[in-house]
Structure 1
């Protein structure tokens, strides 16, 4: 039987962690100068990449992390360093990706939106915990799967509708947005790294 409580809890947790409104500035800063076709494609590809990654961790994440002897603090540290690199590129203006559709797709759909911003350590940890608490109940597993899809649908809608802002912001607005997004990403990155260090210290 479908577990409504598990679905509601998991969906809300993932949406809060992924923060769809918070992804909009980063998304626009990365695709604001691209063609409308590239922007629309990126708006659904990034959540799709995240959905794939999180689904993989939901199915076998605990076993993979255990086999590789990787803890959540290590994921947080790696994600923080990756985000810090992207943030510095946005802040210094050296993060312009090479031209071409393939480059646009990789920069937006894979890094940093698909992972580690959407499918980041927080979302991965939340899914692993939810699956571990399901206790083998089919209804709970179904609810978790539905919650994961719901959260990514919300993110996809937020990114798709955010593309309409580009006509208002123009090039100068996108440039300003890139600086703001870089500052926010840098703060998120430092927080992830700090949390990682605390996690390592707690297990030492």
Structure 2
């Protein structure tokens, strides 16, 4: 059995469903309610397919190019840490990704599915949390289920985006994003330390 709570928090931090709300509002401002629901569904499904691909094939790709998973875990942890720092000290996720909307043509795919939901951090998390040598197939399926549940929450929040935005505003979404950044920084540090430990034990 996996630790559902820690895996859920990890994916919630890297996917950041709340931070996607203002991005969704900005990206779909010119669409009617029916089109918004369609875009929300397409974005969530596209993100799910992308992250499931990394769960299934991510480690296989690393093996094919002869990169040990501990090295990827260290690199991934460093990247996640830098990603977390941008969430804490730089522009928040909503601020950064709303700037991408100006040039967006395929709204559901960009910037909603990628990079808002299926962010680089989420792709790395999908690989790190389903390591074949550490997790059984059943545990990997559990992790995939938790990841899909976070994406489902993101889908629900996008459907309720207008109401949520009126309640928390851009500032509220930015604050939540920074808190998620703190959690992610802690997880990333642990990933680097774990990777170093395993690498030197090989």
Q: TM-score, normalised by structure 2?
A: 0.61
Give 1:7 shift.
3.0
Aligned with residue 13 of structure 2, among 13, 16, 26: 16
CA contact (8 A) 1:6 1:143 kept: no
Q: Could you list the per-position Cα deviations for residues 62-82 of structure 1 after superposition, in whole angstroms to 9, with x for gaps in the alignment?
A: 2335656897589999xx9xx
Q: CA RMSD in A?
A: 4.0
Aligned with residue 29 of structure 2, among 22, 29, 32: 32
CA contact (8 A) 2:48 2:151 kept: yes
Q: Does 1:142 align with 2:141?
A: yes
Q: Could you list the per-position Cα deviations for residues 53-101 of structure 1 after superposition, in whole angstroms to 9, with x for gaps in the alignment?
A: 0000000112335656897589999xx9xxx9x959838xx9265xxxx
Residue 25 to residue 154, structure 1, CA distance change in 2 (3 Å): same
| Runs (5+) with no aligned partner, structure 1 | 98-102, 169-175, 189-198, 200-204
Q: Residue 152 of structure 2 corresponds to which residue in structure 1?
A: 153
Give 1:31 shift.
0.3
Which ranges of 4 or more aligned residues in structure 1 deviate by more than 2 Å?
A: 5-9, 62-77, 86-91, 133-136, 163-166
Q: 1:161-200 residue pairs with structure 2 within 5 A?
A: 161-164=160-163
Q: Residue 89 of structure 2 corresponds to which residue in structure 1?
A: none
- Which region of structure 1 is more displaced relative to structure 2, 136-145 or 16-25? 136-145
Query: Equivalent residue of 1:32, what SS?
Result: coil
| Runs (5+) with no aligned partner, structure 2 | 87-92, 182-191, 193-202
Query: Equivalent residue of 1:34, what SS?
Result: coil
Residue 146 to residue 158, structure 1, CA distance change in 2 (3 Å): same
Q: Residue 50 of structure 1 corresponds to which residue in structure 2?
A: 47
Residue 35 to residue 6, structure 1, CA distance change in 2 (3 Å): same
Q: Could you list the per-position Cα deviations for residues 100-156 of structure 1 after superposition, in whole angstroms to 9, with x for gaps in the alignment?
A: xxx5xx22x111110112111111111111111663513312211211111111100
Distance 2:17 2:97 in 1: 22
Distance 1:146 1:62 in 2: 18
CA contact (8 A) 2:26 2:98 kept: no
Aligned with residue 90 of structure 1, among 70, 75, 99: 99
Residue 28 to residue 134, structure 1, CA distance change in 2 (3 Å): farther
Q: TM-score, normalised by structure 1?
A: 0.61
Residue 96 to residue 61, structure 1, CA distance change in 2 (3 Å): closer
